[in-house]
Amino acid sequence: MPSREYHEAAWAALPDRCEPSDLELRMRFLLASVSAGERVLDVGCGDGRFAAELLRHGADVVAVDVAEEALRRAHAREGELDLRLIEGEGRWALPDAAFDAVWAGEVIEHVADTAAWLSEVRRVLRPGGRLLLSTPAHGLLVRLRLALSARAFEAHFNPLGEHLRFYTRASLRRLIEEFGFDQVNVRAVGPRPWRPLLLASARRGRF
């Protein structure tokens, strides 16, 4: 199945107004990291929940996704959003060095070509601009749980699941640094030790 059809089918299977995981925790992190007036790109904006809050926060927001159904839902939530469809692979139809911050909430784990994706993130950020992202954490407790439970392992690594990549604090930090970012901060948070979340921030290097 072509990538576009896959993403459209995945969104069509989701009920309207479904609650994103760790919504409050991720929203606090995002809004605390962005100032009013900054130009922000929401990559993988989904139904527009985070982009809409950024807009109300005073940011200048562009929200992109690879699925038209996601953008339809985002428009229904907030009609004032600047919504754009992008390709799942290849160069984004966005200018170089155009954004103060890029937000990617629960996106990087779904990306097939991580190197190309991070290269595009870096390209559209201005020098000194910030990458902000969240992704499920795979720390020691999570790995032990998966190692000790065949059922948990099978469910977590379901071959038909949507997650393609699995990150620890160390692997995510190393990955981000390899693509020309500095001041990298990655922390594991969350109320559930068996399902923690990684919150990461980093600054695009000037060269």
How far apart, in whole angstroms, are the C-alpha atoms of residue 195 and residue 139?
A: 9
| pLDDT the model gives residue 161 | 81
Amino acid at 38: E
| pLDDT the model gives residue 165 | 93
Going by C-alpha positions, the residue among 129, 112, 109 that lies closest to residue 171 is 109
How far apart, in whole angstroms, are the C-alpha atoms of residue 30 and residue 59?
A: 11
Question: Hey, what domains does the chain have and what are their CATH numbers?
Answer: 3-204 (3.40.50.150)
**Around Cβ 72, how many Cβ atoms within 10 Å?**
15
- Contact (CB, 8 A) for 83 and 63: yes
Residue 119 CB partners (closer than 8 Å, separation 6+): 179
Q: Name the β-bridge partners of 101.
A: 40, 130
**Around Cβ 45, how many Cβ atoms within 10 Å?**
28
| pLDDT the model gives residue 76 | 94
| pLDDT the model gives residue 159 | 84
Going by C-alpha positions, the residue among 72, 110, 68 that lies closest to residue 87 is 68
| pLDDT the model gives residue 19 | 80
HEC readout, 41-69 = EEECCCCCHHHHHHHHCCCEEEEEECCHH
How far apart, in whole angstroms, are the C-alpha atoms of residue 135 and residue 132?
A: 11
- Regarding pTM above 0.75, the answer is yes
| pLDDT the model gives residue 1 | 42
| pLDDT the model gives residue 183 | 97
| Average pLDDT of adjacent 10-residue blocks, the chain of 207 residues | 74 80 93 98 96 98 96 94 91 96 96 95 97 92 85 85 90 96 94 82 88
Q: Which helix (H) or strand (E) holds 121?
A: helix 114-124
